Amino acid sequence: MSHPVPIRFLPVDPEALAGAPGRIAVVVDEAGKLGGAGRRLDRLMKGALARFLASEAFTALKSGESAEIGWPVGLAAESVQVVKLDRKADATAARKAGGTVGRSLARAGTLVLAETQRNAADLSFGLALRAYDFTPHKTGEAKTPGPVSLMVTDPEAVAAEAGPMAALAEGVFFARDLVNEPANVLTTYDFAARLAAMQELGLEVEIIEEEDLEKLGMRTLLAVGMGSESPSKVVVMQWMGGGDAPPLALIGKGVVFDTGGVSIKPAGGMEEMTMDMGGAGTVAGVMRTLALRKAKANVVGIVGLVENMPDGRAQRPGDVVKSMKGDTIEVINTDAEGRLVLADVMWYAQERFKPCGMIDLATLTGAIIIALGHENTGVFSNNDAFCEGFLKAARAEGEGAWRMPMGEAYDAKLKSRIADMMNVGGRDGGSITAAQFLQRFVKPETPWIHLDIAGTALLKSDTALAPKGATGWGVMALNRLIKDRYER
């Protein structure tokens, strides 16, 4: 498992600058004003830092961007990275600035001079997130970065503020690792085992096998995995740190690989379907975070782990399956399998735990990418207050989310001639009809949010806080929601 780079918080020590190896990153406000250690650094560099701060090149930098001064005279460091961060920058901007440092840590070590920064903890968090690197399947010498230190005016206070963020970074990394793993490694067996290992953190973890899933009536979930050699499983994770309050339920789609089944996908890009368990990965990352920071909240995370493969035993278009709720579903397209998994898991969560609210996450539809691109997750809900609470949390954490419409008019597209409903409703409004399908498995008294993360779980390009690949989207927003609304 990947772990965030360790970061030490040190008092400002101008005398340590000359001999610092590797890289020095100095954070400077838009006015180019330096603190005492920064002025010492400039003197060691024979005024080179001040000349750069007075140049058009520094003025042209946007907040969070940086420039390099290579092999600076007077220093042991191989480079000085000048990071611009506006004086009034918020936590999101500070994290972006930290990400600028984290993308190019030196093997000999990195010293970040952040003496004048009020959001130093957030800066360190952004650094840790961007330094993520998924390397377990690469051979050769690992390019591990050297020690990272932040010089700040009050290291004890900054370290205390950064503590919960370190737990959050662990959760994000766990989610990213799960999404990045190839499907021949992250089978349903391996996925369940990794979740079970979190019992050592204090989570209560239960694995429900196929025989018991059949007894529970989870036949829509089981139908998805009939063509796979990997058995379907449901994993229940409980963190009960909030007394007797009813839990918040997080539900994750965990399709460890999605060929589309008999309705097979085109070959081009199918390799990315290792990420079709992204919803389950996010749920796992949130549960890990809650356990690590000992959250005073009750949360249950339930993930349905299946593999959608074509086989002589696989379900066919035209099959009718019966859900745990009792509704029958005509399977029009076996590639619309995620909603079949979620339907049973959502109903099970409500029947067993009577949650105060329920949030499902799934890489559910390509249609949401057409609607929102890769900048925002699609948000659907039956409860305005619950939804606004989540959107507020997502904004606070800088994770893009946009509420989408729902309505009874879309239900007509799901009508079946031979069953209670079809599992798809056509191409137009595809993400909305998928949400309407899921809503049929939400009890009227349950506040519910559906998050379609198909466009945000894995990206083909770098972002401010992640290299290309898995993003861990949603771990931060859901952790913030729980912290703000459910911790006692």
What phi, psi does 421 have (nearest 5°)?
A: -165, 165
pLDDT value of residue 184: 98
**Percent of the chain whose predicted confidence (pLDDT) is above 70:** 100
pLDDT value of residue 88: 87
- Tell me: the pLDDT tens digits for 270-287? 999 999 999 999 999 999
Does pLDDT of 141 surpass 80? Answer: no
Does pLDDT of 1 surpass 90? Answer: no
- Amino acid found at 54: A
Average pLDDT over residues 452-476: 98
Question: Is 397 in contact with 482 (CB distance < 8 Å)?
Answer: no
User: What DSSP string describes 245-270?
Assistant: SPPEEEEEEEEEEE--TTSPPPSTTG
Pick from 172, 174, 164, 180: nearest CA to 197:
174
Does pLDDT of 229 surpass 90? Answer: yes
- Tell me: the pLDDT tens digits for 331-374? 999 999 999 999 999 999 999 999 999 999 999 999 999 999 99
- Tell me: the pLDDT tens digits for 90-119? 999 999 999 999 999 999 999 999 997 889
Question: Is 337 in contact with 224 (CB distance < 8 Å)?
Answer: yes
Average pLDDT over residues 408-431: 96
pLDDT band at 488 (very low <50, low <70, confident <90, very high): confident
Exposed/middle/buried for 470, CB within 10 Å: 0-12, 13-18, 19+? buried
H-helix segments, 54-112: 56-60, 91-102
- Tell me: the pLDDT tens digits for 288-332? 999 999 999 999 999 999 999 999 999 999 999 999 999 999 999
- Amino acid found at 145: P
pLDDT value of residue 280: 98
- Amino acid found at 474: G
pLDDT value of residue 351: 98
Place of tokens 């949360």: 299
pLDDT band at 143 (very low <50, low <70, confident <90, very high): confident
Question: Is 251 in contact with 359 (CB distance < 8 Å)?
Answer: yes
Domains, in order of start, for the chain: 7-153 (3.40.220.10), 169-485 (3.40.630.10)
Average pLDDT over residues 45-72: 97
pLDDT value of residue 142: 76
Question: Is 264 in contact with 312 (CB distance < 8 Å)?
Answer: no
- Amino acid found at 87: R
- Amino acid found at 276: D
pLDDT value of residue 140: 84
- Tell me: the pLDDT tens digits for 37-54? 999 999 999 999 999 999
H-helix segments, 250-337: 278-292
Average pLDDT over residues 80-98: 95
Average pLDDT over residues 148-170: 97
> What's the whole-number average pLDDT of the chain?
97
* Sheet strands side by side (includes 148-152): 7-11, 148-152, 110-113, 23-28, 79-84, 66-70
SS3 452: strand
- Tell me: the pLDDT tens digits for 185-218? 999 999 999 999 999 999 999 999 999 999 999 9
Tokens for 371, please give them: 């609607």
Which active-site residues does the annotation give?
Answer: 265, 339
Helix axes 155-180, 278-292, angle to 10 degrees: 150
Helix (H) or strand (E) holding 346: helix 338-353
Does pLDDT of 262 surpass 90? Answer: yes
CA angle 219, 224, 228 (to 5 degrees): 120
Residue 79 DSSP symbol = E
- Amino acid found at 111: L
| CA 269/CA 292 separation, integer angstroms | 36
| CA 365/CA 470 separation, integer angstroms | 17
Average pLDDT over residues 6-35: 96
Does pLDDT of 245 surpass 90? Answer: yes
